[in-house]
Structure 1
């Protein structure tokens, strides 16, 4: 599975701790992350991942493009709902794309716990069927 890892500045520590706790599950998948988040996760865990630009510099849009092209299977996006984000339109677009293409999205520790356990139990295997059938590539 292709998994994106994103966190707003105030939530980066939470996501790093979460990935560290579940690195045995995450290491079985192909990981992608936005700039600093990816660097921090790599430094803390040693997990291999593909880093995109920082969110405000286009990283959210890079991940969004992969969602639109059926190249992402799950998103862990720890959002900070109490701090205004300069790239809020990009954040909103990314969340909307997850809804349009039925990509599981965890935006906090509670939903992330459910998503990672589902991933561990193989409950996201339906994504492989979607990809094999070429669904999600409509334009």
Structure 2
């Protein structure tokens, strides 16, 4: 597998920057998976200076962002030259107050990942979680260092879907109802939350108890309410099925939630595509079964 890799300046400036925290915790898994990391210039240079991933053949250098490095990652997420230059997703550690995080190529990188059903990993927690789930899919034993990401009984999960994606969210929740029910709390916005509650009641969840705590609808501020929970460390994972083809009147609120997630980079995991969410759910269930033996 091959992922694009970029990090805003904040995330590779100091010894304990986010990029290095991720690599130190995930280097073993990266090597076990023989994961290709196609890193934009300054990100590659920072990894090399830190002495991380030394000798890892999968680490490739791309041009600096100003020379089109991030644009090349976007094109390769879409796919180039008959698959020879195709990425399976992207890790982009975002500083939400860095102006480059809203450059067209940065926005396009996420959008094309969502459109093509590929992982877009914008936090340390998301990148750590992805490496662990791919390890599980590869048949490797669970890494105890990732246990904190799978302590679902202590976590809150946000389930959010735009109108066109609501049927997929309901199908996902139905298929993985037992796993999602392990979370201490589930939260959602308006209509999605109501439909998920109706689904849960149909599956035997006590009819006098909501399965999902409902906030306002997205246009009425529900995304902002959930963003506040994320910032306070009271929501550790968001599964957010976005419709990238429709302009939303509450686009600012959607971006606010995304910025909240990237602000608490080590704490929050965000998944934006149904296929990626299903792959996570399958790995999480398998990991729990192995741990219980």
Matched, 1:86 2:249: yes
Where in structure 2 are the equivalents of 1:1-139 lying within 5 Å?
1-29=155-183, 30-46=185-201, 48-102=211-265, 103-120=268-285, 121=287
Larger CA deviation: 91-100 vs 22-31: 91-100
Higher relative contact order (CA 8 A, sep 6+): 1
CA distance in 1, matches of 2:229, 2:223: 10
Deviation sequence 1:39-73 (CA, Å, 0-9, x none): 01111222512100001101000000000100001
8 Å contact kept, 1:3–1:73: yes
Please state how far the C-alpha of 1:119 moved relative to its aligned partner.
Answer: 4.2
| Alignment partner, residue 9 of structure 2 | none
Larger CA deviation: 111-120 vs 76-85: 111-120
3-state SS of paired residue (1:43): helix
CA distance in 2, matches of 1:68, 1:116: 24
Give the superposed CA RMSD.
1.4
CA distance in 1, matches of 2:237, 2:281: 9
Q: Relative to 1, partners in 2 of residues 1:118 and 1:75: Cα closer, same or farther, differing over 3 Å?
A: farther
8 Å contact kept, 1:104–1:115: no
Please state how far the C-alpha of 1:26 moved relative to its aligned partner.
Answer: 0.8
Please state how far the C-alpha of 1:99 moved relative to its aligned partner.
Answer: 1.6
Please state how far the C-alpha of 1:116 moved relative to its aligned partner.
Answer: 2.5
TM-score (normalizing by structure 1): 0.82
Structure 2 unaligned segments of length 5 or more: list them.
Answer: 1-154, 206-210, 289-293
- Aligned residue pairs total 122
Structure 1 unaligned segments of length 5 or more: list them.
Answer: 123-139
Please state how far the C-alpha of 1:95 moved relative to its aligned partner.
Answer: 1.1
CA distance in 2, matches of 1:31, 1:59: 14
CA distance in 2, matches of 1:35, 1:8: 11
| Alignment partner, residue 28 of structure 2 | none
